[in-house]
Amino acid sequence: MIMAQVKYVRALVLIILALSIVSTLILLLNTAQAQPMPIQSIKVNNGVISYYESLQSMAPGIVIRVYVINGSIIKPVNAFVSIYANLPNGVTPMMHTYGSVITLPFNESAWSFIINEWLGTGVPVNDYNTSLLVFVTYISGNDSWVVPMIIPYNVGWVLAARGVKVAPMNPAVPRYIVVSININVNTIKPFKVIRTKINSTGELDPQVFGSYGGYVLYNCSVSGPQPSIYMPLPYEFIPESTCLGINGTLPLAWITWDKSVRQYDNKLLTYLGVYYSGTVSWDAMATNYGDIGTSYSTGESWTLAISINMSSTQGPGSLYWAYGGTWALVKYDAWYVDVTTGYTWYLGSVTVSEILYVPRQEQLTYGVDYGNGPISTLYYGAIAVSKGLISYPVLNASSVIDYASFTPNPLTGAEQLSMCNGLVYNTTGTLGTIYYITLGGVKYAINTAQLGTGIGSLAAGIVSLAAPSPYSIIAGIVATGLGIASIILPSSSTTVTNTQLELLGIAKGTNLYISVMVASKAFGIPTFGFILNATNYYGNPTSYSCKYGKVIIIS
């Protein structure tokens, strides 16, 4: 009898254990289903963006989670969140709110205006990705942090979530975007919260708008449906944005020569070739934060080459390839007001430089710039900005990624080629020997944050170019209103890129110094540049390091 009871108890225990195991497995399976793998995840400086095809218990759309990092502690925090949509011609606010978890479903009415603005371009939605621009303001005691982030998305995803058929779409269409924005209070310098009067910067002086040397400056704060501002009584949060839009020519690749090249190397024939094929992505940059994500991307296919003979030039100048586009400088300010006392606290600001729109398969244009074109704008605008705001020229030796020179050997007089960080190739044809420097390759990345920090003064001889008006205007706006001093210039990447400088006419007695740089417009337009000089490298460096460092006799 006792043995029978023991067997019964053992059997009951086994049954309970088995049921427990089955329940645990079911729970794990349900948990696994509740946490699907993302289609893609993107890590940026201030967080992570994950794209999902399906998620449970939420409507298709965007979820933003705000975290603070303090040492080894990571925890969710409440913060003020402003969401702006990037449009082909500007930015418009979609939401101002407060919390640690913010949702923006795709069926929100605010999306209707955004969709129509993009559909108005006539470009198929599958041909480009645009983005949202998000600002998070977190307050702790007398410190505040204003953290920006870009959230890339496709208009077709919003349409699909609203039941609008968009074809053809990729098999996996993201319907949910989950964003983690991290505020690292140990590495991000805070603003000191100060009591002040509201000094509105929401409007630019209309006198600055207009056309300047081929560039159109305009107010790019687009007037659309305005969201309500979150007001936790008795306090009021006041966000404010200023947007300067710039339409014009954006340089892709260029060669600049100074007067010494025309004097000593006038038989030189130069070619500038470009090959870009695939998706081009433009990354936005923000003061003190660097790269905050891809603001715009589209497919381009550029395969072209042009040449110029130094003997036919009219003076120091630049030969360039360029394309048309729109970029914006967006400044965001935040205040906190006690409506019962009238006291106002300024919480800080941040400025973002971003590309808004470049047409797919945009035609490249070329030209020679003798002081009033896009390359002069690139040079001189940066000088004004860097001297006025940073107090030193930011295009310096750190922007140069390679050196090469053709010079007579000081002992024998034989012409020699010096190669610094890579090979200078050559080929022989009916016209003679062509030497060429090629930059690029599969998934080659242009990263100005790593290879250089901006644009600034020119080498001796180039400064004789006449400064054009566009950047005098732009630099003045920046210096007085937009505070762009701490911007780290953006990176850009393409599926396949190739930029090539070719030189014909190198002979005994040639003196030619070539500085290869990753450069950018002062406000963040990535581009390759080659600077030619007959006396020294760009900036007259007294020393530089070479990884390759090979010298060969060529004649």
- Name the average pLDDT for the chain: 77
The span from the CA of 369 to the CA of 215, in Å, is 15
Q: Dig out the tokens for 537 from the structure.
A: 């490298």
Q: Is 406 helix (H, G, I), strand (E, B) or coil?
A: strand
Pairing of strands 365-369, 317-338: antiparallel
* Residues 37/153, Cβ–Cβ less than 8 Å: no
Lowest pLDDT segment from 315-319, 394-398, 482-486, 505-509: 482-486
Condensed to tens digits (0 to 9), the pLDDT of residues 109-154 reads 999 999 999 999 999 998 999 999 999 999 999 999 999 999 999 9
Helix axes 469-477, 374-385, angle to 10 degrees: 30
Q: Exposed/middle/buried for 341, CB within 10 Å: 0-12, 13-18, 19+?
A: exposed
Q: Evaluate the omega torsion of the peptide bond into residue 232 and state whether it is cis, within 30 degrees of 0.
A: no
- State which of 140-144, 225-229, 260-264, 536-540 shows the largest mean pLDDT: 140-144
pLDDT of residue 481 exceeding 70: no
Condensed to tens digits (0 to 9), the pLDDT of residues 71-93 reads 999 999 999 999 999 999 999 99
Q: Evaluate the omega torsion of the peptide bond into residue 105 and state whether it is cis, within 30 degrees of 0.
A: no
| In the chain, domain spans | 40-184, 193-447+491-554
- Other beta carbons within 10 Å of 502: 19
- Other beta carbons within 10 Å of 40: 11
What is the model's pLDDT at position 198? Answer: 61
How much of the chain exceeds pLDDT 70, in percent? 72
What is the model's pLDDT at position 500? Answer: 83
CA nearest to 524, candidates 295, 360, 362, 301: 295
Condensed to tens digits (0 to 9), the pLDDT of residues 418-428 reads 998 888 888 88
CA nearest to 313, candidates 428, 426, 465, 429: 465
Q: Which residue has the higher pLDDT, 522 or 175?
A: 175
Helix (H), strand (E) at residue 213 = none
pTM to 2 decimal places: 0.77
The span from the CA of 360 to the CA of 521, in Å, is 21
pLDDT of residue 276 exceeding 70: yes
